[in-house]
Amino acid sequence: MQMLALYSIKGGVGKTASAVNLAAEASLSGRRVLLWDLDPQAATTYYLREKAKVRGGGVDKLVKGKAALEKAIRNTEIEGLDLLPAAFDSRELDQLLEGRKNSRLRKILKPVFDEYDLIILDCPPSISTLSEQIFSSVNALLVPIVPTTLSLRTLDQLRQHLDKQDHETPIWPFFTLVDRRKKLHNEVMGSLREQWPAQLSTHIPYASAVEQMGLKQAPIARFAARTNAGKAYSTLWDEISRRMG
């Protein structure tokens, strides 16, 4: 079982859309996938047409090990893709994890390790107790970045933080919301490879199909697989899958 996190310090970079689309692509490729929505805004949960509620006693009991994880997990309309939804009380995760070992997140998920090939975490945009748990739990951080100066700055801040805390978590950045008509986007994209050799080469275009996910409440593969964005997410997943081995 492998675990990936869609993570960014900065909001508005296509993190949740990428989490949902990559989870869908992974399941379509034949993997058994669990997508855990850790963001109290519960956008991932909404995209997959589920209620923002953690069954079995809420987030509190889940963290304390007093709730059956299997009861909280829900099947989605996509074969092979299950969801551990977020709820408004997911905002309490930081407080509940405070003072616990960095292995707590993995321990929560351990009962279902054998049931999945891949677990994907959709993470809130912050540096926090929860993020420290994420850094010590996953095989890699998938970091979506918009090709702008501020977005690159947050990527550097993330690397500095991981170095300071001695986290060895690999960072795999990739570009989202790309508009090739913009000179700045092209310049930023051209400069990143030298600084970040682990950058994923596939980029996600700025596209209406991504915006329509909220209306369709579905990943792009379900309603616009042949669009540029749909093909890009499929290609991005193939690249990630090869890198994971």
Whether the Cβ atoms of residue 103 and residue 136 lie closer than 8 Å to each other: yes
Q: How far is CA 107 from CA 41, 100, 102, 237, in A?
A: 24, 11, 10, 27
Rounded Cα distance between 215 and 220, Å, is: 11
Q: Can you read off the two tokens belonging to residue 133?
A: 């748990």
Contacts of 77 (CB under 8 A, 6+ apart): 48, 49, 218, 222
- The reported pLDDT for the residue numbered 56 is 73
Whether residue 193 has pLDDT greater than 80 = no
Residue percentage of the chain with pLDDT more than 70? 99
Q: Distance between CA 14 and CA 37 in Å, rounded?
A: 15
Question: 100: which 2 tokens?
Answer: 């616990």
pLDDT value, residue 64: 80
pLDDT at 73 over 90: yes
Structure tokens at 101: 């070992």
Of residues 233 and 10, more confidence is placed in 233
Give residue-wise pLDDT tens across range 139-167. 999 999 999 888 889 999 999 999 998 99
Averaged pLDDT for residues 39-45: 93
The whole-number pLDDT of residue 163 equals: 94
Per-residue pLDDT at 124 exceeds 80 = yes
pLDDT: which is higher, 189 or 48: 48
In the 8-state DSSP scheme, what is residue 206?
P
- Pull the structure tokens for residue 130: 């929860």
**pLDDT tens-digit readout, 81-117:** 999 999 877 787 878 888 887 778 899 999 999 999 9
Q: Residues 170-178: what's their mean pLDDT?
A: 96
pLDDT over 90 at 236, yes or no:
yes
The answer on pLDDT for 37 being more than 90 is: yes
Banded pLDDT at 65 (limits 50, 70, 90): confident
Q: Are 139 and 170 in contact (CB under 8 A)?
A: yes
3-state secondary structure of 164: helix
Domains (range + CATH), the chain: 2-240 (3.40.50.300)
pLDDT per position as a tens digit, 202-213: 999 999 999 999
Alpha helices in the chain (DSSP H): 15-28, 43-47, 58-64, 69-72, 93-97, 104-109, 129-135, 149-164, 183-195, 208-211, 213-216, 228-244
